[in-house]
Chain A
Amino acid sequence: MTGFALEDRDGTQLLTITVPGIVVRLSAVAPIAIAVGALHRVAPDALWWPSVLLVLLAVLSAELPDSGAGLVTLGGLAAWWLIAVPEPEVWWGLLVACCALVFHAALAHAAAGPSGCAPTWLAVLRLARRCGGVLVATTGLAAVVEAAAEWGEPPMLVVGLTLALVGVLPWLAGLTGTNRA
């Protein structure tokens, strides 16, 4: 028994509450709440209502994972961070990046299959390993950015990395198109 299902007389499921479903929803809402908390820690004077709105959007995204709500939430979080935090805070930014990745991965898996779909342990382990790899790379990037800022070199290194990353995408898209053809 992985959960509780409420059915009508014909056996149609009206409501399904499963342990994986609850975990996925928490994994979607909690990171946004943590990121918003970090924002208010860095910028104590920031307004509260946009943060509350973001958490509500996260709840909506958790209910509708296969929709554009997640995009709005994530975009809103990044925008609110840039507006509310006056000075660059790389390490706090790293925490927000972790939260954004967990939110994204949780929503992506919630959208795979019906609500409350039970993943096997191997699927969860592989996802965690993949996220860990991305977070290690992001931490490395944060360290580079922090070091570059301390050396007094404005973000030229970051600009270079950015251009490289953005340049890779069309190349990959071209490869994909070639493969399909």
Chain B
Amino acid sequence: MTAITGWRPTYAHLRAAVVGLTVLVVGVVIGRPDAVVIAAPLVLVAVASARRPATEPRAATPLAALTVNEGEEVTWEATLDGLPPGGTAVFVHPGQKLLAVEPAAGLLVAEGAGEAAPGAAVGRIALRPLRWGRRRLGDPAVAAYDGWCSWRWGPVPLAGMRMTVLPMTAPLDATAPAPHPRGLVGMERAARPGEGTEFNKVRPFGTGDRLRRIHWPVSARTGRLHVTATYSDEDTHVAVLVDAVNDVGESAGVDGDQSSMDLAVRAAAVLAEHFLHRGDRVGVRVFGAWGVSLVPAGTGLLQLRRILDTLCLIEPGTARGEDALVARQGLGAGTLALMLSPLIDPAATQQVAILNRAGIDVVVIDTLPPGMEEETGTTPAALAWRIRMLQRRVETTRLASLGIPVVPWAGAHSLDQVLRDLTRRRSTPRLVVR
């Protein structure tokens, strides 16, 4: 948009002056007082706004970049100084796909309204991003008018805002423990005894035992000191693997239909938040998106923010043909791998198989949006899709036969039972490739 600075007369000014004066003169000349009355308000308006405003407006907006959550409403604000007395200012923020703007068609604010100083106007427009991602919003524009809208200054474009929209995280209150805790600190009950909170057994006192662990009733009954032994508390390495090779389905924002990538990113955010709150180490690996590949495992709220920042940068399908073996890098046996994938690309299934053979507990979370499997068209594309869906069904059945659970993502509780099953299964001997 080209900035038009300086006050310029509008069509309203032309209309009032031309029609008013012409009708006035004609009425006088032909002796029609009613024509003078008809012309009078227009002439008065033309006279009232005959002078070009002498002020020089200045527009400013304080926000340049902002980080918000999906569906969160934020206010874009701009100030226009130097309005003529009784003038108005117009603030317009352009809309964008999956960005709700309110009011969408702009806001007309009177000079000195609200907490604005005399000669200034403050425009506030509500913005609500409906989908995760990083985006640059369109350039907003402001314009100034005098009291009768006879003179216009602008419109002047302002710098558009850079907005980082973090994926929505819903509370996950799953109680199932993560399998294979193998760390130093955490909330998971380890297989070995040690300092912790969960009861193991009462055993005779040994060197190094703490005095507060002494179990006095048993000690008194047996005549020997006994202590309460516990299992140690440890953390688990959770790897969230996001398949970003394809984005299937239509994304209608946080309140509407979700594409496979929406489901995957939001599920990854929920899972990361859940396991990080439990004290586990969580890392993220993304396949198929250029520039985003790995967040090393870590703990704490900072790690959650790091993961969310990474997830919102995903642009699906921008890096195809990655080596399937990459999936195994940095993941050791005992890691809990949560693969979020619509299982459209055969490479995802291949990666799951590689991880499983390496002794890593893999849970495949199916992020294909509901209803996508039912394709009834007769076009070649519809037939191809149906064939792929049949192949996909065969692949998921094979994964299930290998003991790899495939769970459709249906919210935060999808994994509860699966994690319990994995924990129960960890005592079973397994043959893995090293």
Question: A residues near B, CB below 8 A?
Answer: 1-3, 5, 7, 9-13, 16, 18, 20-21, 65-68, 70-71, 74-75, 78, 81-82, 85, 88-90, 92-94, 96-98, 100-101, 104-105, 107-109, 111-120, 122-123, 126, 130, 134-135, 137-138, 141-142, 145-146, 148-149, 154-155, 158-159, 161-162, 165-166, 168-169, 172-173, 175-176, 179-180
15 other A-B residue contacts (CB within 8 Å) besides A1-B102, A118-B105, A141-B36: A66-B11, A70-B15, A74-B19, A78-B23, A82-B32, A90-B33, A90-B37, A93-B34, A100-B19, A108-B12, A118-B106, A126-B110, A134-B41, A137-B41, A137-B44
- In Å, the complex CA distance between A166 and B44 comes to 10
Closest to B90 in A: A113
Contact between chains at B52 and A119 (CB < 8 Å): no
Chain B, range 1-54, C-beta contacts under 8 Å to A: 10-12, 14-19, 21-28, 30-48, 50-52, 54
Given A75-B18, A166-B21: A104 and B34 interface contact (C-beta under 8 Å): no
Pick from B66-74, B145-153, B305-313 the stretch touching chain A: B145-153
B104 at the A/B interface (Cβ < 8 Å)?
yes
Contact of B41 among A7, A90, A135 (CB under 8 A): A135
Chain B positions within 8 Å of A9 at CB level: 97
Q: Which bracket fits the contact residues of B?
A: 35 or more
Q: How many A-B residue pairs have CB under 8 A?
A: 235
Contact between chains at A5 and B95 (CB < 8 Å): yes
Contact between chains at B110 and A123 (CB < 8 Å): yes
Contact between chains at B33 and A117 (CB < 8 Å): no
Give me the 7 closest cross-chain CB pairs, A-B, nearest first. A93-B34, A11-B97, A108-B12, A116-B105, A113-B90, A108-B149, A119-B108
- In Å, the complex CA distance between A65 and B19 comes to 16
Given A88-B34, A100-B42, A114-B92: A176 and B105 interface contact (C-beta under 8 Å): no
Contact between chains at B44 and A123 (CB < 8 Å): no
**Can you sample 21 A-B contacts with CB below 8 Å?**
A2-B104, A7-B95, A67-B11, A81-B35, A88-B32, A89-B34, A90-B37, A93-B34, A97-B39, A98-B41, A101-B45, A108-B10, A112-B88, A117-B90, A117-B107, A122-B113, A123-B110, A155-B33, A162-B25, A172-B47, A179-B51
Contact between chains at B88 and A123 (CB < 8 Å): yes
Given A71-B15, A90-B33, A169-B47: A123 and B108 interface contact (C-beta under 8 Å): yes
Contact between chains at B26 and A82 (CB < 8 Å): yes
Contact between chains at B86 and A118 (CB < 8 Å): no
Contact between chains at A123 and B109 (CB < 8 Å): yes
Contact residues of A: prevailing secondary structure: helix
B257 to chain A, nearest CB (A): 14
B96 at the A/B interface (Cβ < 8 Å)?
yes
Contact between chains at A16 and B105 (CB < 8 Å): yes
B73 to chain A, nearest CB (A): 12
Contact between chains at B103 and A138 (CB < 8 Å): no
Contact between chains at A107 and B12 (CB < 8 Å): yes
Closest to A148 in B: B33
Closest to B15 in A: A71
Given A82-B30, A118-B105, A134-B44: A172 and B38 interface contact (C-beta under 8 Å): no
A28 to chain B, nearest CB (A): 12
B116 to chain A, nearest CB (A): 10
B297 at the A/B interface (Cβ < 8 Å)?
no
Most A CB contacts (10 A, CB to CB) among B25, B39, B54 go to B39
- In Å, the complex CA distance between A172 and B48 comes to 10
B143 at the A/B interface (Cβ < 8 Å)?
yes
Contact between chains at A111 and B10 (CB < 8 Å): yes
- In Å, the complex CA distance between A101 and B42 comes to 7
Contact of A141 among B22, B40, B50, B152 (CB under 8 A): B40
Contact of B92 among A98, A101, A117 (CB under 8 A): A117
Chain A positions within 8 Å of B158 at CB level: none
Contact between chains at B22 and A75 (CB < 8 Å): yes
